[in-house]
Amino acid sequence: MAALHGSTLEAIKTHQAQLLDEWISGLEASGATRNIKEQMLSQETREFLQLLIEGLQSDSGNNIAATGWDEARRFLEKLSASRAQLGHDSHQTVFFIFGLKGPLFGLLQAHYSNEPGRLAEQLWVMSELLDNMGMHTIRTYQRTREAVIKRQQEELLELSTPVVKLWDGVLALPLIGTLDSQRSQTVMESLLQRIVDTGSEIAIIDITGVPTVDTLVAQHLLKTVTAIRLMGADCIISGVRPQIAQTIVHLGLDLGTLTTKANLADALKLALSRLGVSLAERV
């Protein structure tokens, strides 16, 4: 197995300024520095090159899981997280590492110009090391992006299930889009919490914006209504369009326990009448 030669380390330490200049130029030319300030990029490249030198001096080899690479791993994990937050893709992120290959390999070629065997050996050692670091960076980036996407999905779910207070004791939840299992759970939790917070007696779930109602959607609605009733409140489903009514009949779904209305206005009138509120029509 090829090992790092002391002369390689000395060459890197001696030509740090040259490596940094060429590395930064390559990063800028590739577009990997988008939304990154020049001062920040300069700081990151200097810090990583120093950590690379320290790791090489620790004789930890190419195993970046070794103790000697602890600081370098932490740096790459922090870098991956920051790039994900900036909206960089995986290629832009990992090119921070791979962008060092060109300047470093050029330096080694000049340094070992008279030793082709040693040159090939050291190129392999450094290439394998940087590849391992790139893979670690990609794995960290993917975990961070997945966390960001999951958080954004949760935030969108919350925004897509707004619970509105229509009257004292009356809440409304307008649904838009498909009602799947995850969203149904969010709907139930949001609505139940608002019932507790406001002490409301009636909740209206408006499905005008739900494109289709199938067996699964109907089951979600029934579960939500059951949970609301267990909280001591009542529930009205509004927005039952003719197409949805026909679909429910064709599917043979039993929604007999649900109170339904064609639109939100009719549902509100029914809710107010149940609360003993009378509305006088304007003449």
Bridge partner list, 170: 167, 202
pLDDT of residue 17: 95
Per-residue pLDDT of the chain (283 residues), as tens digits, is: 578 999 999 999 999 999 999 999 999 998 888 888 999 999 999 999 999 999 999 988 888 889 999 999 999 999 988 888 888 888 889 999 999 999 999 999 999 999 999 999 999 999 999 999 999 998 888 888 887 777 776 666 655 668 888 899 999 988 887 777 777 777 888 889 999 999 999 999 998 888 877 777 778 888 888 899 999 999 999 998 887 778 777 777 666 677 889 899 999 999 999 998 876 666 5
Q: Provide the pLDDT for residue 104.
A: 96
- pLDDT computed for residue 141 by the predictor: 87
Domains of the chain: 6-153 (1.10.490.10), 164-274 (3.30.750.24)
Predicted TM-score (pTM) of this structure: 0.59
